[in-house]
Amino acid sequence: MLSPPVIVWLRADLRLADNPALHAAAERGPVLPVFILDETPPLRALGGASRWWLDKSLRSLDGALRQQGAPLILRRGPALEILQDLIAETGAREVVWSRLYDPASIARDTEIKARLSAAGVACRSYNASLLSEPWEIATGAGGPFKVFSAYWRTAGPRAGAQAPLPAPARLRGLETPVRSDTLDAWGLHPTQPDWSGGFSEWTPGEAGAKARLATFLANAANAYGDGRDRPDKPWTSKLSPHLHFGEIGPRQVWAAVEAHIHAGGAAGSGAVFQKELGWREFNHHLLFHFPKTETDSLNPRFDAFPWRNAADEMEAWRRGRTGYPIVDAGMRQLWASGWMHNRVRMIVASFLIKDLLVDWRIGESWFWDTLVDADIANNIAGWQWTAGSGADAAPYFRVFNPVLQGERFDPEGDYVRRWVPELAKLPKSAIHAPWQADARVLSAADVRLGFTYPRPIVDHAWARDRALKIFQELP
């Protein structure tokens, strides 16, 4: 007779390799892997793009688990109730999971651990998502960091200390089948908008994550140091959604980059990439220690900011119709592919907040719905950084000029031409500021401002002065 199973509650660790909870469960007996779609408030409901990704990722994970002997069980509802049901159905006396670090998940998991432990069920949690736990990195006074450079001086030397775990060689499943929902019944794939075609560049799942990492190391890693800011070049890893869903872990990525460097890869670019992993760590560090930043500005001065939130301007921004080509290219890339280059994320965020005076929370909400890598910690930290209300903030120096940013980081205009095809015939001298172009240049490129492409919805120089004046007047 088999011993009671260990329930492995999978969350943002949708992989077999370097999954400490799954690894520990496999060593102790039969394994019952379960994914619970829990969107009980105050937990955030997934955005549309994330639902698209999760649907594909869970299908991939189920296939991998079935090959190992333990199919994935799907349940939907409040996690505590689902786990209690599974314990009653299977006789399980132990539940393991990988930790999450947003405030709502921490509160839920703390209650679950207390309730199950009181009922005699052992609960154990593990770190599968970060190189270091948020509480392990502290200032000399024992507090949290608010400045990345200081944080990374402490966290960086520790980052590669723990080697990734291998996937279990075999999992023992249950002899008696357990009821599972079907992914088709969950209806995660959104019907409006239909993103099925535009998202075809992605391969969700652990195998897709490993392939994406291998492609990056082979083709782009050596150019990353100087090229990571170029949206017109394929020089970023695009690992962010795979990391967010836990299809690959940061320890695996760190170790692979180290191996690449030791094999003769560009050490400078490798170190820059690892530092970007450090930013991801720092963002989780911030959210863990300052949980109110999910909804409130870290710097309370910004509570008095007089946001305009003009509906027509917000809609122009969402649809890529602002009249600033680099901004519009980024917003259209986001809508079509569920992803946006990081440099362009900063540009479009700065434009929304500084040029249009729209509350950063509105932009964060749009990214949450449309990004396949929508991550609470990264999304919040990025938007607050740009707003000037968060950590490492220097708002007077972060009013990005969209024309100069385009000319610097998309010098030939190739990124704009791809995503704003109505400007494709413009020469590079005009493509980032078509309203300044000679009428003959516009005519030759079939561009009619106000008809085929909008005029700027705001004058940047004027808007910059307006924003800086408001910043200076904040109490």
- At residue 302, the 3 state secondary structure works out as helix
The reported pLDDT for the residue numbered 117 is 98
The single residue of 89, 258, 279, 407 carrying the catalytic annotation is 279
Q: How far is CA 242 from CA 129, 211, 330, 378, in A?
A: 11, 11, 21, 14
- Residue 338 pLDDT more than 50? yes
The reported pLDDT for the residue numbered 198 is 62
- Residue 337 pLDDT more than 70? yes
The single residue of 89, 133, 276, 407 carrying the catalytic annotation is 276
Each residue's pLDDT tens digit, 440-449: 999 999 999 9
The reported pLDDT for the residue numbered 1 is 47
Contact (Cβ atoms closer than 8 angstroms) between residue 32 and residue 90: yes
- Residue 464 pLDDT more than 70? yes
- 52 annotated active-site: no
Nearest 5°: the CA angle 339, 343, 344 is 60
- Per mean pLDDT, which range of 145-149, 190-194, 225-229, 430-434 is the poorest? 190-194
Q: Is 312 exposed, middle or buried (0-12, 13-18, 19+ CB in 10 A)?
A: exposed
- 360 annotated active-site: yes
The reported pLDDT for the residue numbered 96 is 98
- A 10 A CB-CB count for 94 gives 19
- 9 annotated active-site: no
Each residue's pLDDT tens digit, 159-192: 999 999 999 989 999 989 999 999 999 999 877 6
**In sequence order, which residues have a C-beta less than 8 Å from that of residue 267 and are 6 or more positions away?**
261
- Examine residue 193 and say whether the peptide bond preceding it is cis (omega within 30 degrees of 0): yes
The single residue of 235, 368, 383, 385 carrying the catalytic annotation is 383
Each residue's pLDDT tens digit, 230-275: 999 999 999 999 999 999 999 999 999 999 999 999 999 999 999 9
The reported pLDDT for the residue numbered 2 is 65
Q: What number is the average pLDDT over the span 117-143?
A: 97
The single residue of 89, 186, 258, 342 carrying the catalytic annotation is 342
How far is 16 from 22, CA to CA, in rounded Å? 7
The crossing angle, in degrees rounded to 10, of helices 342-350 and 325-337 is 120
- 97 annotated active-site: no
The reported pLDDT for the residue numbered 397 is 60
Each residue's pLDDT tens digit, 44-62: 999 999 999 999 999 999 9
The single residue of 317, 360, 368, 419 carrying the catalytic annotation is 360
The single residue of 89, 258, 307, 407 carrying the catalytic annotation is 307
**In sequence order, which residues have a C-beta less than 8 Å from that of residue 35 and are 6 or more positions away?**
10, 11, 14, 58, 61, 72, 73, 74, 75
- 342 annotated active-site: yes
- A 10 A CB-CB count for 128 gives 25
What the chain holds in terms of domains, given with CATH numbers, is 6-128 (3.40.50.620), 130-162+205-289 (1.25.40.80), 300-473 (1.10.579.10)
Instruction: For CA atoms 297, 301, 303, 309, give the dihedral sign.
Output: negative
The reported pLDDT for the residue numbered 393 is 65
Each residue's pLDDT tens digit, 253-265: 999 999 999 999 9
- 383 annotated active-site: yes
Cα Rg for the chain, rounded, in angstroms?
A: 24
